[in-house]
Structure 1
Amino acid sequence: MKPRDSNKNQSAAPLSRSAQRALEQAKRKAAVQQKILLILLAIALAVNLLAAFFLYQTLVVEQNRENLQRLTQESVAERAALLEKHLQADALRVEALSANSAWAAQLAADNLDNTAAARAQLAQTLAAQDDRVLNIYLIPTGTATLDREAEFPLRYLELDLIQRAEQGKTPLPELVEINKRWMFQWAKPVTTGADSAPLGSLLITTDAAPLLALFAGGDPSLGETVLQQQFAGSPAQMVRKSGTGNAGPKASGKVANSYLTLDFTPSEQLKLRAEELPTLWLFIVSLIAAASLALCWFLSKVITRATLNTKESAGPSLQETVQASKETKEAAAEEALINPMFQNQDILDIAVIDEDEDILGLNQASGKKTGGAKRHGVDEKDVPAEIFRSYDIRGLVNSQITPQLALLIGQAVGSEAIDQGEHSIVVARDGRTHSDALTQALIKGILRSGCNVINIGVVPTPLMYFATFHFDDTHSGVMVTASHNPKEYNGFKVVINNRALADDSVTELRTRILEQRFHQGLGEETPRAIIPDYIERVFSDVALAGNIHLVVDAGNAVTGLVAPQLFEELGCEVTPLFCEIDGEFPNHNPDPTIEQNLQALIAKVQEVNADIGVAFDGDGDRLVVVTPKGDIIWPDRLLMLYAKDILARNPGADVLFDVKCSRQLNQVISSYGGRPIMWKTGHSPMKAKMEETQALIGGEYSGHIFIKDRWYGFDDGIYAMARLLEIITLRDQSIDAIFASFPQLHATPEIKVNVSDQDKFGLIKKLAESGDFANGAVTTIDGLRVDYTKGWGLVRASNTSPALTLRFEAESPEALQKIQQIFKRELLKVDNKLSIEF
């Protein structure tokens, strides 16, 4: 056993010192390389994942999206082409029919048999030659009248087509539904030659069923196809819908030479057709992965070598110590190597690990990247809460509204617009003396946010709204104006993505300012003209059937730039009153809801024997009308006439009005087949409710009229007046006679009771909680409205001035006074310091 033990001891003899050092160095090198390799592999994995995701989005997702978009566009284009071909064939047949010389012969001046019966007989005879033709009217120039009860009725739509044909135009066919059957109306002028004036017009009604059948013939499994008819400025009217789909964005196409459009939304089945196998993506990702693995292995060797070399060059002191020990005596060297300091950790290992961490960035802070020093907030005193009202920003210039605040508002609005996907904002201003300075500061703030500015200059607010629909590169705008307030006030009306900011959206701008949540950038300012486009758009929409003499009172405000010119273009005789811009408002404040401000207009209408007079407010989004008798037609009575006109073409439509309007309006709307909806006062909440209900007409007692029929739905006093003139000229009555047919109760104008902005809302809340209004029906959608059997009363906090607004209406003066006294009693219970003068 001893020899075997001897051999064992010999085989297990310790390695030489140099061999041990070489072995230890190899181990350290392997450990360092393994560590570095693992780190590089982790980095490579992260890079590969990011590259794979990016390439997947680019090569797979984006390609599939483009394929789906192409197939969607092809589907709508194919369906539109079929309808265009069919409609073109119908147009040729109608053209051939209207070219028959018998029409002109029948209307010739020397034709003694030109009677209604003879015209009807000729129309019936020629219509029978084509089974697609359902009816023909042959109408001498200027004789078309309303006939809603006929089998093929003549409504305002048909009268408009006939009027355009009589002007020598050839209007596009319009798709109409009569007795639940769809038909096309074609209007053609009847002439004796190319250069002769029309003797009359043809209204040809053709069957639309073949076209609708062609529309329904597509594959419904591929997506949802919607056939609509849309006129400029009016909401689209859905005619037919086929299939279902929600797998991607819709594509739209226009049917040429018509008002028809197609919307196609793809289905999941079409989306599956658009998808491609990700072959290229897999190939590229595999190459990147292989290359990154090879690179990691190579870099691990290079970094390991560099690291160890660095440590070896930094460690001679240890080697010199060992060498010195060797030269003196072995025991000293052994003691140095087994010194307790080094028993648990190799000095080289420590040095290499520290250096690795430095080279590979392991010692760097891993916290989130900061964006710089924290910005200090704005002093709340410089951003008064009370000027951020329910539907705009408005206050006293210098004490509340300053250029410095305007700049901050510009930054906030620009940042909000960018967050909502907009990159340009229309900016306009009214004619107040301080609007220019505020506008310049506002623009500077918007540009600082990185948002661009389209400056349309001094124009009424409706033209700013119009610009957000008319321009292709933006749907947002800011108007610098205080509307009807006195000259000491100014403010800002904000629209983003065609929606006026209201309530929380307005106060959020203040929060954004206080927290300095602004985008940073460098926008560009571009000037553009909008007045000519606006006048052209209204002129193309409104047609007056007769001459009318109109007095326009602009109150020395900004509508004086546009209204007289527009109404003259429409063919009116215009007498301007206070149409020169003067921000001091030397004649009267630009608030037409105050009777005193209308006295000069009434006097001028009577002086020049005009047919009608109109007063606009300071920025042109409100109007009030006066008659030759001197009567004031308040906007709720105007709304009765608008509702009657629009409901005649759109039975069952919603009509919106605010809490200050007459209860008679509710009855008028119902009697003409409409659905009355009462809502909050204010242009922003009214516009939001118009959008929600898809109402075609709405209005406030204060003069805001919102027309969605043939227009855009925003409040526009100028356009509303043009539509009123159109309605009046189609009637053989004076303005006084027209409104005499609408019922009128005893009513007060708006009554203002001064209350501070800080107290007014709290006062209304207390009144609602503690007020005793006997057996009245209380409505609290906006302030407090109480309806009784014989009348009603309202009190609400004004959103545009430091005041309470009251209004009353009743069947008799006695009932009116009684309701007023009830409100006065309850208000004084809440605050006995109120000055209530009734």
Structure 2
Amino acid sequence: MNPKDSSKPKTETGAHLSRSEQRALDAAKRKAAVQQKILLILLGIALIINAVVGYVLYQKLVIEQTQENLRSLTQEKVDERSKTLSHYFQQQTQLIDKLAAEPELIASLDATNPDNTAEKRDLLEKKWLRETPSALKVRLIPLGSAQLDREAEFPIRYAELDLIQRAEKRQPALPELVAINERWMTNWIRPLAAEDKSAPLGTLMVTIDAAELINLFTPADQHLGEFVLVQQFTGSPPQIVKKLGTGTAGNSLQGNVEGSHLAVKFTPSDQLLSLAEELPALWLSIVSVIVAGSLALVWFLSKILVRMELGEKNAATPSIAEVVKTSKESVNADDAMTNPLFQKQDILDIAVIDEDENILGLQQASGKKSSASARNKISEEDVPAEIFRSYDIRGLVGSQVTPELAQLIGQAVGSEAIDQGEQAIVVARDGRTHSEALTQALIRGILRSGCNVINIGVVPTPLMYFSTFHFDDTSSGVMVTASHNPKEYNGFKVVINNRALADDAVIDLRSRIIGQRFHQGLGEEIPRTIIPDYIDRIFSDVALAGNVSIVVDAGNAVTGIVAPQLFEELGCDVIPLFCDLDGEFPNHDPDPTIEKNLQALIAKVQETNADIGVAFDGDGDRLVVVTPKGDIIWPDRLLMLFAKDVLSRNPGADVLFDVKCSRQLNQVISSYGGRPIMWKTGHSPMKAKMEETQALIGGEYSGHIFIKDRWYGFDDGIYAMARLLEIITLRDQKIDAIFAAFPQLYSTPEIKIAIPELDKFGLIKKLSEIGDFANGTITTIDGLRVDYTKGWGLVRASNTSPALTLRFEAESHESLEKIQQIFKRELLKVDNRLTFNLNSQD
């Protein structure tokens, strides 16, 4: 037996295989292995695709269809209730219009007829009361005679007075629901005028019991969800009239009731959701067909891919026949295997192109520098701690605030916004000479984080705040401004998810920069305009009851491009003062809380016989008002008038003010039925406290006024001035007389004592620990405020400049000076280098 034969492979029958047969057997095994591998891969892919498709279809055909069914049923309930109530108001409107056309009623208001007495009108009122279904009170009000009557059974308050004044101006006035002693009523207003006269003779006011309306609203199927009847006025929170049932199973829908300020809101319950559920039969049928089809496709593709796989391998390795044909020689199998084409090629002989070197990192191995080199380290000295203040970032341009730092701040703000779920940030700037360069660097940083930028250009800060509520695709923004600081300063105010960053949140931005905890991406810059939308929004909310001449001092700052235009739209005669934009502030610093900066405004008001003057700060979020007599209405007195107005419609509401405000403000708020709350100074902590307490109005002595009533709650000097004009035009008084009604004590303006930035907080802390203020009551929520029987004093570290801020108020000059001397004595104990100029004023 040939020894070589014993080493040859055998078949299952024991016969030896030739080498050609062995190669065929090996090829078959390879084919089977490849086919099995490809089939498993395809089956895995098919499984994943089927799972994804099944999930998507389930979401579409079952979940989303159920939600659509639920939304449709919810809308059906809303439409059913709102149409019922709309029909009621249609009927009542016809009844009131018919009553307003009665010649007898119109004739009773003719002032030229001496027989038209109050007694005659009273008899007519009683007569038509009996003839008007559901009416509780009928009033005939001669033109211009309406007055507040809070104590009547059916009172006339500011809301009713506003309705009457609208009727006298022939402005449209829808009926309004009011609650008197927990009983709901509807007030209807119509002007009464003779046919041949354009101006009305007076007003018809009908008060109707709202019981029928509420009964019509009450549904029979309360178990299907929560029905809420709300009354909504523009800019004000909704007022709940009636709530029935419960519902938490889906999104609420709301429908307006035509002919009224009412809306019906419905939230579905679990019972309605069960009626809306979509059965999965269609989904199961479709998924079954897809699975069967995908399995057939997998089997077919596996056949094709096996052939392609084996075909590529054969093309890469020449067969024995091809070798024989190429050499033109007949060779046996052993000789063929010695051909170099069958020898293994070393993998290291393969050439690597440059791109592959980059991917594999071979350049670094060969000593080349990688493009992804280590990040440059950022030291704490590069990011000055003193500019990251309690409620913004602010410092000297060049030495503290630079374009390089602005870019890092942009990366930090963009990254923080992304972490909080935002994808875009509004960016705006004031008119300072360096704001544009800082803004461009800031935008570069935000875009590097992968966050988009909505650039609204040069606008006041309140318009940046407004845009975060107005735009649908973001609730965040950054304003490049140094507010009221001199021209050498600049900085950044940051809002994320409609919350101004303050205290630790501002410090965390610095930590993020130093630690380089930045997102990486490529954002998009989108230019938009906001000024027209802002003016339209205020124009739709504020209505002036008379003409007003107003001097507007913008201090050459950014409010000059918005405020005059807005007040002209509201119907004012506007006299602009320093309203041209000039970042050098050539006339005075943009800080209206300093009296010398108001002298030009006072002179202009008196020169032009204007009704009022207003000065805004450098970015428009603060204001100070002056009167024709030349009096300065400091913001805490301004807040007294705002509080009176808001509390007249919202008794018991919270009113927020800072530690620098007058003690008299506390007493005024309480006297009008409000709850006074003192808080720390600063627009960011004030806004946070406004949100926490749900206060409708708040303010700081520095000029920030926060209005949540009909507005958004952020500090907006321009809107606050519009609301002030609305209030004073509703009163038949000059502004000096209006504010004379509010008590005023002897007081000082804000007094600044220069002190190094790094020393001011430590000094206040030490003063709190060792200061001797006799029997005064100490408050330390912000700095140190000491209240005495006849006055009070305050010292705190300024959050916007390297200084201490002091303020004093007392019942007499003597008490004022005594309190000042106590503070001076205790401050010098802590630091005898301090320089004082404690000049008090009335």
Q: Classify the TM-score, shorter chain.
A: 0.7 to 0.9
- Structure 2's unaligned 5+ residue stretches are 1-11, 321-330, 335-358, 361-370
* Structure 1 residues 836 and 267: CA distance shift in structure 2, 3 A: farther
CA drift of 1:397 comes to 2.3
Distance 1:820 1:248 in 2: 61
Secondary structure of 1:796's partner? strand
| Structure 1: distance between partners of 2:187 and 2:207 | 5
Deviations 1:234-277 (A, max 9, x none): 22222221222222222222222322223322222222222212
Q: Is the 8 A contact 2:63 2:278 kept in 1?
A: no
CA 1:313–1:177 in structure 2 vs 1: closer, same or farther (change >3 Å)? closer
Q: Is the 8 A contact 1:448 1:523 kept in 2?
A: no
Alignment-derived partner of residue 649 in structure 2: 649
Q: 1:738 corresponds to which residue?
A: 738
The answer to whether 1:284 aligns with 2:283 is no
The offset of 1:792, in angstroms, is 3.1
Between the aligned partners of 2:429 and 2:487, the Cα distance in structure 1 is 14
Give me the whole-angstrom Cα distance separating, in 1, the residues matched to 2:318 and 2:456.
76
Q: Aligned partner of 1:528: which letter?
A: T
Deviation at residue 426 of structure 1 after TM alignment: 4.5
Instruction: Answer yes or no: is 1:399 the counterpart of 2:408.
Output: no
Counterparts of 1:215-294 in structure 2, within 5 Å, are: 215-294=217-296
Q: 1-side partners of 2:29 and 2:719: how far apart? A: 89
The 1-side partners of 2:213 and 2:701 are apart by 45
> How many Å separate the matches in 2 of 1:486 and 1:570?
32
Matched, 1:198 2:200: yes
Report what 1:15 is aligned to. Answer: 14
Q: Which residue of 1 aligns with 2:209?
A: 207
- Aligned counterparts of 1:382 and 1:103: Cα–Cα separation in 2: 79
1:295-314 counterparts in 2 under 5 A? Answer: none
Q: What does 1:433-448 correspond to in 2, within 5 Å?
A: 433-443=433-443
Task: Classify the secondary structure of the residue corresponding to 1:63.
Answer: helix
SS in 2 for 1:107: coil
Other-structure match for 2:82: 80
- Match for 2:182 among 142, 160, 180? 180
Cα distance 1:413–1:69, how it changes in 2: closer, same or farther (>3 A)?
farther
Alpha-carbon distance, 1:713 to partner = 2.3
SS in 2 for 1:676: strand
Asked if the contact 1:616/1:623 (under 8 Å) is kept, the reply is yes
Shift of 1:611: 4.1
Pick which of 384-393 and 74-83 moved more.
384-393
For the 8 Å contact 1:234–1:712, the answer to whether it is kept is: no
Aligned to 1:662: 662
* 2:65 paired residue among 63, 79, 102: 63
For residue 348 of structure 1, what is the aligned residue in structure 2? none
CA distance, structure 1, for counterparts of residue 421 and residue 132 of structure 2: 53
Write the distance in 1 (CA, Å) between the matches of 2:569 and 2:301.
Answer: 79
Matched pairs, number: 786
- Give the AA of the match of 2:116: N
Do structure 1's residue 559 and structure 2's residue 559 form an aligned pair?
A: yes
Asked whether 1:530 is paired with 2:550, we answer no
Segment of structure 1 superposing worse, 388-397 or 285-294: 285-294
1:378–1:516 Cα contact (<8 Å) kept: no
| Structure 1 residue 725 corresponds to structure 2 residue 710 | no
Q: 1:705 and 1:295 mapped to 2: Cα distance?
A: 69
Distance in structure 1 (CA, Å) of the matches to 2:110 and 2:296? 95
Q: Which residue of structure 1 lines up, in the alignment, with residue 748 of structure 2?
A: 748
> 2: distance between equivalents of 1:247 and 1:648?
38
Q: Check 1:79–1:455 CA distance in 2 against 1; reply closer, same or farther (3 A cut).
A: same
For 1:646-701, what per-residue CA distance to the aligned partner results, in whole angstroms no more than 9, with x for missing partners? 21221111111112212221122112111111222222222232223222211111
Return the offset for 1:620.
2.0
Residues 784 and 210 of structure 1, relative CA distance in 2, 3 Å threshold: same
In structure 2, relative to structure 1, the CA distance for the partners of 1:304 and 1:577 (3 Å cut) is closer
1:93 Cα deviation after fit: 1.3
Q: Is the 8 A contact 1:653 1:675 kept in 2?
A: yes
Is the partner of 2:70 in helix, strand or coil?
helix
- Could you tell me which residue of structure 1 aligns to residue 386 of structure 2? 386
Equivalent of residue 115 in structure 1, options 103, 112, 117:
117
1:517 matched residue in structure 2: 518
Of stretches 396-405 and 513-522 in structure 1, the one that deviates more from structure 2 is 513-522
Distance 1:191 1:374 in 2: 84
Alpha-carbon displacement from aligned partner over 1:497-517 (angstroms, at most 9, x marks no partner): 444333344445445555363
For 1:635, the equivalent position in structure 2 comes to 635
2:524 maps to a residue whose letter is G
| 1:134 matched residue in structure 2 | 136
Q: Secondary structure at the match of 1:18?
A: coil
AA of the residue aligned to 1:719: Y
- For the 8 Å contact 1:636–1:661, the answer to whether it is kept is yes
Partner Cα separation in structure 2 for residue 812 and residue 74 of structure 1? 68
> How far apart, in 1, do the equivalents of 2:570 and 2:44 lie?
75
Query: Per-residue displacement from partner, 1:47-81 (whole Å, max 9, x unpaired)?
Result: 43333333322332222222222222332222222
Give 2:337's aligned residue.
none
Deviation at 1:801, TM superposition (A): 1.9
How big is the shift at 1:150?
1.7
Q: Is the 8 A contact 1:411 1:518 kept in 2?
A: yes
Closer, same or farther: CA 312–236 of 1 in aligned 2, 3 Å: closer
CA-to-aligned-CA distance 1:24-62 (integer Å, 9 cap, x gap):
998888777666655654454444333333332233222
> Residue 518 of structure 2 aligns to which amino acid in structure 1?
R
Q: What is the CA-CA distance between 1:438 and the residue it aligns to? A: 3.5
Q: Aligned pair in 2 of structure 1 residues 454, 24: CA closer, same or farther (>3 Å)?
A: closer
AA in 2 matched with 1:741: A
C-alpha deviation, 1:479, in angstroms: 3.1
- Deviation per CA, 1:395-452: give whole Å up to 9, x if none: 2223333344445545555565566565665544333223344444445555666666
Aligned residue for 1:360?
none
Alignment match, 2:348? none
- SS of 1:204's partner is strand
Give the C-alpha shift of residue 92 in structure 1: 1.5
Structure-2 separation of matches of 1:312 and 1:716: 77
What is aligned with 1:676?
676
1:535-550 → structure 2 map (5 Å cutoff): 535-550=535-550
Find the counterpart in structure 2 of residue 102 from structure 1: 104
Q: Residues 313, 770 of structure 1: CA spacing in aligned structure 2 closer, same or farther, 3 A cutoff?
A: same
| Aligned 8 A contact 1:413 1:509 in 2 | yes
**SS of residue matched to 1:525:** strand
Moved more, 600-609 or 206-215: 600-609
What is the identity, as a one-letter code, of the residue corresponding to 1:276?
Answer: E
Task: Name whichever of 727-736 and 228-237 sits farther off.
Answer: 727-736
Deviations 1:621-646 (A, max 9, x none): 21122334433221111111221222
Alignment of 1:574-613 (within 5 A): 574-613=574-613
Q: Secondary structure at the match of 2:136?
A: strand
> Is 1:166–1:198's contact at 8 Å kept on the other side of the alignment?
yes
Amino acid at match of 2:493: K
Give the match's secondary structure for 1:212. Answer: helix
In structure 1, stretches of 5+ residues that fail to align are 1-12, 318-323, 328-363, 366-371
- Greater shift after overlay, 449-458 or 143-152? 449-458
CA contact (8 A) 1:170 1:188 kept: no
Tell me how far 1:478 sits from its aligned partner.
3.6
- What are the residue-to-residue correspondences of 1:483-498 with 2, within 5 Å? 483-498=483-498
Superposed displacement of residue 216, structure 1: 2.1
Corresponding residue number in structure 2 for 1:796:
796
Aligned counterpart, 2:323: none
SS in 1 for 2:115: coil
State whether structure 2 residue 728 is matched by structure 1 residue 714: no
Tell me how far apart the structure 2 counterparts of residues 24 and 471 of structure 1 sit (CA, whole Å).
69
- Counterpart CA distance in 1 for 2:789 and 2:778 is 12
Instruction: Quote the sequence identity (%).
Output: 70
Question: Amino acid of the residue matched to residue 376 of structure 1?
Answer: R
Structure 2 counterparts to residues 446-461 of structure 1, below 5 A: 455-461=455-461
Q: Secondary structure at the match of 1:119?
A: helix
* Structure 2 residue aligned with 1:688: 688
CA root-mean-square deviation: 4.0
Q: How many Å separate the matches in 2 of 1:194 and 1:471?
A: 49
1:451–1:524: 8 Å Cα contact kept in structure 2? no
- Structure 2: distance between partners of 1:511 and 1:239: 49
| 8 A Cα contact 2:531 2:562, kept in partner | no
